[in-house]
Amino acid sequence: MDDAGLQARLMATGAVTTVSIDTNISRSSRIMVELLELAGALKGMEFGVRLVVSAPALAEIIMDLRQRFGDRYAPEMIADFIEGNDYLEIEAFTRADAEHQAERLTRLFADDASWQSAKVDAALADLKLAHRDDIDRSKARCSATIDWLIGSQAERGGWLLATHDKGPEFADLDRVSLERLRRALHTLSASRRGDVASEEPPSGL
């Protein structure tokens, strides 16, 4: 989705656009605070933005915090941040999401062989080994990443997905990069303040 398409979607009159934030973005509290402030700046306009983090993504974030803080970790670190923000919600992965996940994967992969091949290809790409021709892919087996869950939930909800990933887990979905999302939100918040529409977001990602 290009800049014009993203802004058009975000500015749909009377609509609140839900954006699911992937783990590789949501694990940064600094970036999340910035996105939440930009979403809040649209309050009172004819359109709005709601940010969500899928429960499977939240599990990864909590694991990061537990590893970083050890015995100093407390659930309040997450709870206080979530409850203190009006534009952020945690979305449970429900039975309906599981049904949609299975439907989506069956749609993309007609049989088990193609599904196994897709998981192996994704793993090799992550390991920068996709170019290797000496690996017997026919016998390889890999587990599915939680990105499949995050992506399927976003598709079922009709949400945009903000992610850095370009892997097969999200290839068929409506997705935007963090940079494009930040740029669009900065432009919309600047237009409300009456600033020049070309205002650039602050650097320093």
pLDDT per position as a tens digit, 140-177: 788 888 999 999 999 999 999 999 988 889 999 999 99
Q: What is the pLDDT of residue 203?
A: 43
- pTM for the predicted model, two decimal places: 0.85
What b/e readout covers 47-78, taking b as 16+ CB neighbours within 10 angstroms? Answer: ebbebbbbbbbbebbeeebeeeeeeeeeeeee
Q: What is the pLDDT of residue 15?
A: 85
Q: In what order do the strands lie in the sheet with 88-91?
A: 88-91, 48-54, 16-21, 160-162, 175-176
Q: What is the pLDDT of residue 17?
A: 93
Rounded CA-CA distance 91/30 in Å is 21
The widest CA-to-CA distance across the chain, in whole angstroms, is 60
Q: What is the pLDDT of residue 195?
A: 52
Q: What is the pLDDT of residue 49?
A: 92
Rounded CA-CA distance 57/91 in Å is 10
Q: Determine contact, residues 38/68, Cβ cutoff 8 Å.
A: no
Token pair recorded at residue 123: 């793993």
Residue spans of the chain under pLDDT 70 = 13, 192-205
Domain ranges within the chain, ordered by starting residue: 3-93+151-193
Q: H or E element: which one contains 65?
A: helix 55-69
End-to-end CA, the chain: 21
Quickly name the fold that domain 3-93+151-193 has.
Rossmann fold (3.40.50)
Rounded CA-CA distance 118/71 in Å is 39
Q: What is the pLDDT of residue 192?
A: 64
